[in-house]
Structure 1
Amino acid sequence: MNNPMLLAVRTLLKETFDGPEKNASWYTEAKPGNGLFGTLEKLSAEDASISVNGTTIAAQTDHTRYYLWAANSYLNGEEPRKDWEASWKITNVDKITWAQFNDKLQQEYTTLLKKIDLLDSLDEQTSNGLLGAIAHSAYHLGSIRQMIKALKVPSQT
């Protein structure tokens, strides 16, 4: 891949999901495990099911997966039938479901990287979609990290 924009998109997506490489970062804290996958792997299903300000980390995770699925569908030339509200209805997950959510998020992310590798150039629509995938995923990474902070605060007794 010789397209600098596609290389940048790939780099920023990898930082968002896998974390920064070689302790260098464009926008996340330059420590191992600071990407979305490293953040989520530290959480139990019970933690992911706790409501923080009306949503759960499980819902945030599934919503991020859903967005990547939609982005992948558009890159396939499809117009996906979207139901954004469905991804926010998740309130409680068990250990198996939580593992499935993480696996499906990984699958959509891997699919997106493979699609990027097949691109030679970018039109405006594809550019907006890929940049939107970075921004959207980074937003939810930040939301999840803030939710985790709220979960770890000792009770005020």
Structure 2
Amino acid sequence: MNNPMLVAVRTLLKETFDGPEENASWYTEAKPGSGLFGTLEKLSAKDASVSVNGTTIAAQTDHTRYYLWVANSYLNGEEPKKDWEASWKITNINEMTWEQFNEELRQEYTTLLNKIDSLDSLDEETSHSLLGAIAHSAYHLGSIRQMSKVIKVQSQI
């Protein structure tokens, strides 16, 4: 990949989801497990079902997956029918559903990385889609990390 912007987009998405590479970071904590997948793997379905300020980590996770699905659809030239509210209704999930949410998130992320790898250049719409995916996913990573701290404290009370 010779396009510096595509390299940067891929690097920041990988940091958001996989975590930073070898104690180096552009914006997350520079330690293993700081990305979304590392954060989520430390949580059980029970943890993901705890409501914090009116939402759950399960809902945040599925919403992030859904956003990536929408972005992937647009990048494939499709106009997806969107239901942004659906993921926010998720409350109590079991371990099987939690595993499914995490796997589907990983699939959408992998699809997006593969799409980035297939690009040679960026037009304005693609740039917006990719930068939006970074910003949106980073926002939910921060939300989930903060929520997990609250859940940890609540479980110790």
Who is 1:135 aligned against?
135
Who is 1:20 aligned against?
20
TM-score by structure 2 length? 0.98
Deviations 1:97-150 (A, max 9, x none): 000000000000000000000001001111011000000000000000010111
Matched, 1:7 2:12: no
Who is 2:84 aligned against?
84
Who is 2:144 aligned against?
144
Give, in angstroms, the shift of residue 153 of structure 1. Answer: 1.6
Who is 2:124 aligned against?
124
TM-score by structure 1 length? 0.98
Q: Give the residue type in structure 1 aligned to 2:139.
A: Y
Q: 1:74 to 1:154 in 2, by over 3 A?
A: closer
* 3-state SS in 2 of match to 1:153: helix
Q: Give the residue type in structure 2 aligned to 1:55.
A: T
Question: Alignment length, in residue pairs?
Answer: 157
Give, in angstroms, the shift of residue 30 of structure 1. Answer: 0.2
Deviations 1:14-67 (A, max 9, x none): 000000001100000000000000000000000000000000000000000000
Q: 1:155 to 1:88 in 2, by over 3 A?
A: closer
Unaligned 5+ segments in structure 1 are none
Give, in angstroms, the shift of residue 156 of structure 1. Answer: 9.4
Distance 2:137 2:92 in 1: 21
Who is 2:56 aligned against?
56
Structure 1 outlier segments of 4+, above 2 Å: 154-157
* 3-state SS in 2 of match to 1:60: helix
Who is 1:33 aligned against?
33
Distance 1:100 1:153 in 2: 26
Unaligned 5+ segments in structure 2 are none
* 3-state SS in 1 of match to 2:85: helix
Q: 1:155 to 1:74 in 2, by over 3 A?
A: closer
Percent identity of the aligned residues? 84
Distance 1:115 1:79 in 2: 17
Give, in angstroms, the shift of residue 154 of structure 1. Answer: 4.8
Distance 2:156 2:6 in 1: 48
Who is 2:65 aligned against?
65
Give, in angstroms, the shift of residue 87 of structure 1. Answer: 1.0
Give, in angstroms, the shift of residue 155 of structure 1. Answer: 7.3
Who is 1:75 aligned against?
75
